């Protein structure tokens, strides 16, 4: 499955928005590029609300199972394990204390890919995963665009329904920032200092 780049995502979202508008529906869906501050703040708020609702909907459909695997919790919280910096490192101490933010974002996306792949496998086994497919796929648009190009290792999921549900519930509950980074209105040809990297979920 291909997670769309931000440009493609913006265009598809705008198209959807136009379709909904012509059908007379007023509730905004996803519209990250706006022409005015007022409408942008309203749209971002609605965007955030929808992402939160999607996450809540997913969580509601998963059973409450206490999740005590500490290593898995750390990986699902997207705390990337970083090797210790050598003593002569010029990096500020903060970067050696915590994972770099870009690594965490990448890890969140990698984890989402793992869940999407396993959901498909479990469905093929006729296991009742719950009606989460649509919201789970849309979660990709709620995550900030990844900027790290390094291939990261995500969560290990067993082909076991309870393992999947337990870890997914925890993962979704940890996605604290579901809003995309605010993007100023600009054309697709504008140069930017860092372009988001397209992330692809590899098919199993």
Partner 1 sequence: MGLAGRGRAQDAAANAVGAERGAAPPFFNLRVYPKELRLSWERRAPGPQAVCRKQGLGIVWSDIGREHCRFPSLSLCHMTNISVFLPNDPGATATWILFPESDPNRPAAATDLHCWLHHVDHVSCRWGRGPGAPSDVQYRMFWRDARQGRDRDRECPRYDVMGMGGARLGCTLDAVLPTLMMVTVTGSSGQGPVSCSDTAVDLQAAEVLTPPTLRAKCNGSDTALVSWVMRSRFHRGFEFQLEIRKGPHSELETEHTSESHFRVRIPGSASFRVRAKPSDIADFSAWSQVAELGVCSHPSQTSRTPWGRKRSPQSCVGGSTARGMRGDASDGGLSCQLPIKAGPAATLPLPPQTRSGAAVTRGPPLSFADRKWGCQSPGASPLSVTHRK
CB of 2 to partner 1, least distance (A): 19
Phi, psi of 43 (to 5 degrees): -70, -40
| CA 82 – CA 96 distance, rounded (Å) | 8
CB of 15 to partner 1, least distance (A): 32
Is residue 89 within the footprint of partner 1 (CB under 8 A)? no
* Residue of 197, 111, 95 lying closest to 152 (CA atoms): 111
Phi, psi of 83 (to 5 degrees): -65, 150
Is residue 122 within the footprint of partner 1 (CB under 8 A)? no
Binders in 21-80 for partner 1, by CB under 8 A: 56, 59, 64-75, 77, 79
Binders in 124-163 for partner 1, by CB under 8 A: 151-156, 158
Beta-bridge partner residues of 200: 2
Phi, psi of 200 (to 5 degrees): -120, 140
CB of 130 to partner 1, least distance (A): 16
Is residue 11 within the footprint of partner 1 (CB under 8 A)? no
| CA 146 – CA 96 distance, rounded (Å) | 21
User: Which residues lie near partner 1 (CB under 8 A)?
Assistant: 56, 59, 64-75, 77, 79, 81-84, 97, 151-156, 158, 169-170, 173-174, 176
């Amino acid at each position: 499955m291909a997670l769309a780049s931000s440009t493609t995502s913006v265009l598809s979202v705008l198209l959807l928005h136009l379709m909904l508008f012509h059908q007379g529906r007023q509730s905004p869906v996803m519209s990250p590029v706006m022409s005015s501050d007022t409408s942008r703040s309203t749209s971002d708020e609605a965007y955030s609300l929808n992402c939160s609702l999607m996450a809540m909907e997913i969580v509601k459909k998963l059973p409450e199972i206490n999740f005590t695997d500490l290593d898995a919790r750390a990986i699902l919280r997207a705390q990337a394990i970083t090797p210790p910096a050598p003593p002569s490192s010029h990096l500020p101490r903060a970067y050696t204390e915590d994972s770099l933010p870009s690594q965490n974002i990448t890890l969140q996306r990698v984890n989402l890919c793992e869940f999407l792949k396993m959901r498909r496998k479990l469905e093929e086994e006729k296991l009742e995963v719950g009606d989460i497919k649509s919201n789970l796929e849309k979660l990709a648009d709620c995550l900030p665009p990844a900027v790290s190009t390094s291939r990261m290792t995500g969560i290990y999921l067993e082909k076991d329904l309870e393992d999947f549900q337990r870890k997914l519930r925890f993962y979704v509950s940890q996605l604290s920032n579901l809003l995309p980074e605010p993007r100023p209105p600009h054309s697709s040809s504008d140069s930017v200092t860092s372009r988001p990297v397209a992330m692809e979920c590899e098919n199993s």
